Protein backbone atom coordinates (compact mmCIF):
# COMPACT_ATOMS: atom_id res chain seq x y z
CA UNK A 1 0.00 0.00 0.00
CA UNK A 2 1.34 3.43 -0.91
CA UNK A 3 0.75 4.77 2.60
CA UNK A 4 3.28 2.28 3.94
CA UNK A 5 5.90 3.55 1.48
CA UNK A 6 5.11 7.10 2.55
CA UNK A 7 5.71 6.04 6.15
CA UNK A 8 9.18 4.82 5.09
CA UNK A 9 9.83 8.25 3.63
CA UNK A 10 8.62 10.05 6.77
CA UNK A 11 10.80 7.83 8.97
CA UNK A 12 13.85 8.55 6.79
CA UNK A 13 13.21 12.29 7.05
CA UNK A 14 13.00 12.00 10.85
CA UNK A 15 15.96 9.64 11.42
CA UNK A 16 18.17 10.89 8.54
CA UNK A 17 19.66 7.41 8.45
CA UNK A 18 18.47 4.40 6.44
CA UNK A 19 19.15 1.77 9.10
CA UNK A 20 17.49 3.72 11.91
CA UNK A 21 14.53 4.54 9.66
CA UNK A 22 14.12 0.85 8.84
CA UNK A 23 14.29 -0.01 12.54
CA UNK A 24 11.62 2.58 13.34
CA UNK A 25 9.35 1.03 10.70
CA UNK A 26 10.11 -2.52 11.93
CA UNK A 27 11.41 -3.64 8.52
CA UNK A 28 14.82 -4.47 7.12
CA UNK A 29 16.93 -1.77 5.48
CA UNK A 30 16.65 -3.41 2.01
CA UNK A 31 12.84 -3.46 2.37
CA UNK A 32 12.77 0.25 3.25
CA UNK A 33 15.14 1.19 0.40
CA UNK A 34 13.15 -0.90 -2.10
CA UNK A 35 9.88 0.73 -0.96
CA UNK A 36 11.27 4.23 -1.52
CA UNK A 37 12.64 3.23 -4.93
CA UNK A 38 9.22 1.85 -5.89
CA UNK A 39 7.69 5.16 -4.83
CA UNK A 40 10.16 7.03 -7.06
CA UNK A 41 9.22 4.78 -9.97
CA UNK A 42 5.49 5.27 -9.43
CA UNK A 43 5.81 9.07 -9.19
CA UNK A 44 8.47 9.34 -11.91
CA UNK A 45 10.87 11.52 -9.89
CA UNK A 46 14.01 11.04 -7.80
CA UNK A 47 13.12 11.63 -4.16
CA UNK A 48 16.32 10.87 -2.24
CA UNK A 49 19.75 12.22 -3.18
CA UNK A 50 22.00 9.36 -4.18
CA UNK A 51 25.05 8.55 -2.03
CA UNK A 52 26.53 5.96 0.29
CA UNK A 53 24.84 7.72 3.19
CA UNK A 54 21.62 9.69 3.46
CA UNK A 55 22.29 13.17 2.03
CA UNK A 56 18.79 14.61 2.03
CA UNK A 57 15.93 14.97 -0.43
CA UNK A 58 15.87 16.36 -3.92
CA UNK A 59 13.70 19.39 -4.67
CA UNK A 60 10.87 17.18 -6.02
CA UNK A 61 11.53 14.90 -3.05
CA UNK A 62 10.78 17.74 -0.62
CA UNK A 63 7.38 18.18 -2.30
CA UNK A 64 6.75 14.45 -2.10
CA UNK A 65 7.74 14.45 1.58
CA UNK A 66 5.34 17.29 2.37
CA UNK A 67 2.56 15.42 0.61
CA UNK A 68 3.55 12.20 2.36
CA UNK A 69 3.32 13.73 5.84
CA UNK A 70 -0.14 15.15 5.13
CA UNK A 71 -1.32 11.87 3.59
CA UNK A 72 -0.12 9.89 6.61
CA UNK A 73 -1.97 12.29 8.88
CA UNK A 74 -5.15 11.99 6.79
CA UNK A 75 -4.85 8.20 6.70
CA UNK A 76 -4.61 8.04 10.49
CA UNK A 77 -7.64 10.33 10.84
CA UNK A 78 -9.53 8.03 8.47
CA UNK A 79 -8.54 4.96 10.48
CA UNK A 80 -9.81 6.57 13.68
CA UNK A 81 -13.04 7.66 12.05
CA UNK A 82 -13.66 4.17 10.68
CA UNK A 83 -12.85 2.67 14.06
CA UNK A 84 -15.31 4.98 15.84
CA UNK A 85 -17.93 4.38 13.17
CA UNK A 86 -17.60 0.64 13.58
CA UNK A 87 -17.88 0.96 17.36
CA UNK A 88 -20.89 3.27 16.99
CA UNK A 89 -22.66 0.77 14.74
CA UNK A 90 -22.36 -2.23 17.04
CA UNK A 91 -24.01 -3.02 20.34
CA UNK A 92 -24.89 -3.00 22.98
CA UNK A 93 -26.83 0.24 22.79
CA UNK A 94 -26.89 1.75 26.28
CA UNK A 95 -30.21 3.33 27.27
CA UNK A 96 -30.87 5.08 30.58
CA UNK A 97 -34.56 5.41 31.51
CA UNK A 98 -36.63 6.86 34.33
CA UNK A 99 -38.36 4.20 36.39
CA UNK A 100 -41.71 5.81 35.65
CA UNK A 101 -41.26 5.31 31.90
CA UNK A 102 -40.70 1.55 32.03
CA UNK A 103 -44.25 0.71 30.81
CA UNK A 104 -43.55 2.63 27.57
CA UNK A 105 -40.09 1.31 26.77
CA UNK A 106 -41.41 -1.66 24.79
CA UNK A 107 -42.86 0.81 22.28
CA UNK A 108 -39.26 1.69 21.39
CA UNK A 109 -37.36 -1.56 21.94
CA UNK A 110 -39.61 -3.81 19.86
CA UNK A 111 -39.35 -1.80 16.60
CA UNK A 112 -35.62 -1.30 17.24
CA UNK A 113 -35.10 -5.04 17.66
CA UNK A 114 -37.02 -5.76 14.47
CA UNK A 115 -34.74 -3.42 12.54
CA UNK A 116 -31.48 -4.38 14.31
CA UNK A 117 -31.98 -8.00 15.43
CA UNK A 118 -28.25 -8.53 16.03
CA UNK A 119 -27.82 -5.54 18.35
CA UNK A 120 -28.19 -5.95 22.09
CA UNK A 121 -29.80 -3.30 24.29
CA UNK A 122 -28.66 -2.47 27.80
CA UNK A 123 -31.50 -0.64 29.57
CA UNK A 124 -30.64 0.88 32.96
CA UNK A 125 -33.26 2.29 35.33
CA UNK A 126 -32.06 5.63 36.70
CA UNK A 127 -33.42 8.76 38.30
CA UNK A 128 -32.88 12.11 36.57
CA UNK A 129 -29.75 12.89 38.58
CA UNK A 130 -28.16 9.53 37.79
CA UNK A 131 -29.05 9.96 34.12
CA UNK A 132 -27.24 13.29 34.00
CA UNK A 133 -24.21 11.73 35.66
CA UNK A 134 -24.22 8.94 33.08
CA UNK A 135 -24.40 11.50 30.28
CA UNK A 136 -21.46 13.42 31.73
CA UNK A 137 -19.47 10.20 32.05
CA UNK A 138 -20.38 8.99 28.56
CA UNK A 139 -21.79 5.73 29.91
CA UNK A 140 -25.17 5.89 28.11
CA UNK A 141 -26.05 6.51 24.47
CA UNK A 142 -29.73 7.42 24.87
CA UNK A 143 -31.60 8.99 27.80
CA UNK A 144 -35.33 8.94 28.54
CA UNK A 145 -35.58 11.47 31.30
CA UNK A 146 -36.86 14.88 32.40
CA UNK A 147 -35.95 17.56 29.86
CA UNK A 148 -36.80 20.81 31.59
CA UNK A 149 -33.47 21.55 33.25
CA UNK A 150 -30.93 19.84 31.04
CA UNK A 151 -32.00 20.34 27.42
CA UNK A 152 -28.88 22.38 26.69
CA UNK A 153 -26.76 19.31 27.41
CA UNK A 154 -28.36 17.30 24.59
CA UNK A 155 -27.43 17.06 20.92
CA UNK A 156 -31.02 16.02 20.06
CA UNK A 157 -34.12 15.87 22.20
CA UNK A 158 -37.86 15.42 21.85
CA UNK A 159 -40.64 15.77 24.41
CA UNK A 160 -42.78 12.63 24.79
CA UNK A 161 -45.34 13.64 27.41
CA UNK A 162 -45.93 15.71 30.55
CA UNK A 163 -45.70 13.75 33.79
CA UNK A 164 -49.00 13.25 35.62
CA UNK A 165 -50.18 10.81 38.29
CA UNK A 166 -53.04 8.39 38.72
CA UNK A 167 -54.78 6.57 41.53
CA UNK A 168 -54.46 2.82 40.93
CA UNK A 169 -57.24 0.66 42.42
CA UNK A 170 -58.93 -2.69 41.92
CA UNK A 171 -62.10 -2.48 39.86
CA UNK A 172 -65.23 -2.53 41.96
CA UNK A 173 -63.58 -0.97 45.01
CA UNK A 174 -64.01 2.58 46.31
CA UNK A 175 -63.75 5.30 43.60
CA UNK A 176 -64.01 2.69 40.82
CA UNK A 177 -65.64 4.17 37.71
CA UNK A 178 -64.87 7.78 38.67
CA UNK A 179 -63.57 10.01 35.88
CA UNK A 180 -61.11 11.69 38.26
CA UNK A 181 -59.92 11.42 41.84
CA UNK A 182 -58.68 14.01 44.35
CA UNK A 183 -55.40 13.97 46.18
CA UNK A 184 -57.42 14.28 49.39
CA UNK A 185 -59.08 10.94 48.58
CA UNK A 186 -55.87 8.96 48.93
CA UNK A 187 -55.60 9.97 52.57
CA UNK A 188 -58.64 7.79 53.24
CA UNK A 189 -57.21 4.62 51.64
CA UNK A 190 -54.77 1.92 52.77
CA UNK A 191 -51.83 2.49 50.46
CA UNK A 192 -49.12 0.40 48.84
CA UNK A 193 -46.66 2.92 47.42
CA UNK A 194 -43.29 3.17 45.86
CA UNK A 195 -41.18 5.19 48.28
CA UNK A 196 -42.54 8.77 48.04
CA UNK A 197 -39.02 10.20 47.98
CA UNK A 198 -38.16 8.27 44.82
CA UNK A 199 -37.58 10.69 41.97
CA UNK A 200 -40.58 9.47 40.02
CA UNK A 201 -42.64 11.87 42.15
CA UNK A 202 -42.51 15.66 42.10
CA UNK A 203 -41.88 17.65 45.27
CA UNK A 204 -45.53 18.47 45.93
CA UNK A 205 -46.67 14.92 45.20
CA UNK A 206 -44.05 13.52 47.57
CA UNK A 207 -45.25 15.85 50.33
CA UNK A 208 -48.87 14.76 49.85
CA UNK A 209 -47.95 11.09 49.82
CA UNK A 210 -45.76 11.37 52.91
CA UNK A 211 -48.64 13.09 54.72
CA UNK A 212 -51.05 10.38 53.55
CA UNK A 213 -48.77 7.71 54.97
CA UNK A 214 -49.14 9.27 58.43
CA UNK A 215 -52.93 8.88 58.26
CA UNK A 216 -53.42 5.35 56.91
CA UNK A 217 -51.97 1.88 57.23
CA UNK A 218 -49.57 1.36 54.38
CA UNK A 219 -46.82 -0.57 52.62
CA UNK A 220 -43.86 1.17 50.99
CA UNK A 221 -41.46 -0.53 48.64
CA UNK A 222 -39.07 -0.03 45.72
CA UNK A 223 -40.63 -2.94 43.76
CA UNK A 224 -43.34 -2.02 41.25
CA UNK A 225 -44.59 -5.60 40.97
CA UNK A 226 -45.17 -5.78 44.72
CA UNK A 227 -47.31 -2.65 44.37
CA UNK A 228 -49.34 -4.17 41.53
CA UNK A 229 -49.96 -7.44 43.37
CA UNK A 230 -51.19 -5.68 46.51
CA UNK A 231 -53.50 -3.33 44.60
CA UNK A 232 -54.89 -6.33 42.71
CA UNK A 233 -55.94 -7.85 46.06
CA UNK A 234 -58.39 -4.97 46.53
CA UNK A 235 -57.08 -4.18 50.01
CA UNK A 236 -54.68 -1.40 48.97
CA UNK A 237 -54.58 1.48 46.49
CA UNK A 238 -51.54 3.19 45.01
CA UNK A 239 -50.40 6.32 43.19
CA UNK A 240 -48.23 5.87 40.09
CA UNK A 241 -47.10 7.97 37.13
CA UNK A 242 -49.43 8.03 34.14
CA UNK A 243 -47.58 5.37 32.07
CA UNK A 244 -49.06 2.83 34.50
CA UNK A 245 -51.87 2.66 31.91
CA UNK A 246 -49.58 0.61 29.69
CA UNK A 247 -48.96 -1.85 32.51
CA UNK A 248 -52.65 -2.53 33.09
CA UNK A 249 -53.74 -2.58 29.45
CA UNK A 250 -57.01 -4.51 29.31
CA UNK A 251 -56.45 -5.78 32.85
CA UNK A 252 -59.88 -6.91 34.10
CA UNK A 253 -58.94 -6.24 37.72
CA UNK A 254 -57.07 -2.92 37.81
CA UNK A 255 -58.21 0.61 37.08
CA UNK A 256 -56.29 3.91 36.86
CA UNK A 257 -58.05 7.17 37.74
CA UNK A 258 -56.39 10.53 36.88
CA UNK A 259 -55.31 12.84 39.71
CA UNK A 260 -55.14 16.61 39.17
CA UNK A 261 -51.79 18.24 38.41
CA UNK A 262 -49.94 19.88 41.30
CA UNK A 263 -47.83 22.84 40.21
CA UNK A 264 -45.68 22.71 37.09
CA UNK A 265 -45.37 19.14 35.86
CA UNK A 266 -42.03 18.02 34.37
CA UNK A 267 -41.70 17.06 30.72
CA UNK A 268 -40.47 13.55 29.99
CA UNK A 269 -38.55 13.11 26.76
CA UNK A 270 -35.88 11.23 24.89
CA UNK A 271 -32.46 12.78 24.39
CA UNK A 272 -29.05 12.07 22.85
CA UNK A 273 -25.99 13.39 24.69
CA UNK A 274 -23.63 15.85 23.06
CA UNK A 275 -20.19 14.67 22.07
CA UNK A 276 -18.57 12.80 19.22
CA UNK A 277 -18.63 10.27 17.90
CA UNK A 278 -22.35 9.75 18.53
CA UNK A 279 -23.69 6.25 18.10
CA UNK A 280 -25.47 5.70 14.80
CA UNK A 281 -27.60 3.15 16.59
CA UNK A 282 -28.60 5.84 19.10
CA UNK A 283 -29.72 8.08 16.23
CA UNK A 284 -31.79 5.22 14.81
CA UNK A 285 -33.34 4.50 18.22
CA UNK A 286 -34.16 8.21 18.61
CA UNK A 287 -35.69 8.45 15.14
CA UNK A 288 -37.95 5.46 15.73
CA UNK A 289 -39.00 6.69 19.19
CA UNK A 290 -39.86 10.16 17.89
CA UNK A 291 -41.60 9.18 14.68
CA UNK A 292 -45.07 10.65 14.27
CA UNK A 293 -46.49 7.16 14.68
CA UNK A 294 -44.72 6.53 17.98
CA UNK A 295 -45.70 9.94 19.37
CA UNK A 296 -49.30 9.34 18.39
CA UNK A 297 -49.32 5.95 20.10
CA UNK A 298 -47.92 7.44 23.31
CA UNK A 299 -50.54 10.19 23.26
CA UNK A 300 -53.30 7.65 22.62
CA UNK A 301 -52.14 5.39 25.39
CA UNK A 302 -51.79 8.12 28.01
CA UNK A 303 -54.99 9.93 27.05
CA UNK A 304 -57.22 6.87 26.96
CA UNK A 305 -59.71 6.44 29.81
CA UNK A 306 -59.18 2.70 29.43
CA UNK A 307 -55.68 1.44 28.74
CA UNK A 308 -54.97 0.55 25.14
CA UNK A 309 -53.44 -2.72 24.01
CA UNK A 310 -50.49 -2.27 21.66
CA UNK A 311 -49.76 -5.08 19.23
CA UNK A 312 -47.05 -5.22 16.56
CA UNK A 313 -48.22 -5.27 12.94
CA UNK A 314 -45.74 -6.42 10.27
CA UNK A 315 -46.04 -4.75 6.89
CA UNK A 316 -43.51 -4.57 4.05
CA UNK A 317 -40.72 -5.90 6.29
CA UNK A 318 -41.28 -3.11 8.81
CA UNK A 319 -43.04 -3.17 12.17
CA UNK A 320 -45.57 -0.66 13.35
CA UNK A 321 -47.61 -0.70 16.53
CA UNK A 322 -51.36 -0.97 16.20
CA UNK A 323 -53.69 0.28 18.95
CA UNK A 324 -56.91 -1.52 19.63
- Answer yes or no: are the C-beta atoms of 248 and 256 closer than 8 Å: yes
Domains in the chain: boundaries: 2-88, 93-162+266-323, 165-258
Query: Of 242, 239, 240, 260, which is closest to residue 179 (Cα–Cα)?
Result: 260
Mean residue pLDDT across the chain: 84
For 196-219, what is the mean pLDDT?
Answer: 84
Give the pLDDT confidence of 71-105 residue by residue, as tens digits.
Answer: 999 888 887 766 555 544 556 899 999 888 888 89
* Three-state SS at 177: coil
pLDDT-derived band at 310, boundaries 50, 70, 90: very low
Decide if 93-162+266-323 and 165-258 have a common fold. Answer: yes
pLDDT-derived band at 277, boundaries 50, 70, 90: low
pLDDT-derived band at 20, boundaries 50, 70, 90: very high
pLDDT at 152 over 90: no
CA-CA distance, 48 to 56, in Å (whole number)?
6
**Residue 304: predicted pLDDT:** 57
CATH number of 93-162+266-323: 3.40.190.10
pLDDT at 242 over 80: yes
Angle between helices 102-115 and 280-289 (to 10 degrees): 120
pLDDT at 298 over 60: yes
Give the pLDDT confidence of 166-199 residue by residue, as tens digits.
Answer: 999 999 998 998 988 999 888 889 999 988 877 6
- Answer yes or no: are the C-beta atoms of 146 and 203 closer than 8 Å: no
Query: Of 277, 309, 269, which is closest to residue 89 (Cα–Cα)?
Result: 277
CA-CA distance, 134 to 125, in Å (whole number)?
11
Query: Which CATH fold topology does 165-258 show?
Result: D-Maltodextrin-Binding Protein; domain 2 (3.40.190)
For 31-54, what is the mean pLDDT?
Answer: 89
Half-sphere exposure (Cβ direction) of 121: Cα atoms closer than 13 Å: 24
Determine whether domain 2-88 maps to CATH 1.10.10.10.
yes
Amino acid sequence: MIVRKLEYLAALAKEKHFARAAQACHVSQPTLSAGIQQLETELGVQIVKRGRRFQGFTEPGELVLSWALQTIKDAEALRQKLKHQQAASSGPLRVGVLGSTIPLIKLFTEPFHERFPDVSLRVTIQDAFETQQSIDEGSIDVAITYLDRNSRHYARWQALYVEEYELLIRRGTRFSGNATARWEDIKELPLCLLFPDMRIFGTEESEILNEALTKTTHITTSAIWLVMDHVRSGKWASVLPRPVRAMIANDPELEAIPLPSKGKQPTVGIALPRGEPRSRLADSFFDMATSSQSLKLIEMLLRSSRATTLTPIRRNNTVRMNAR
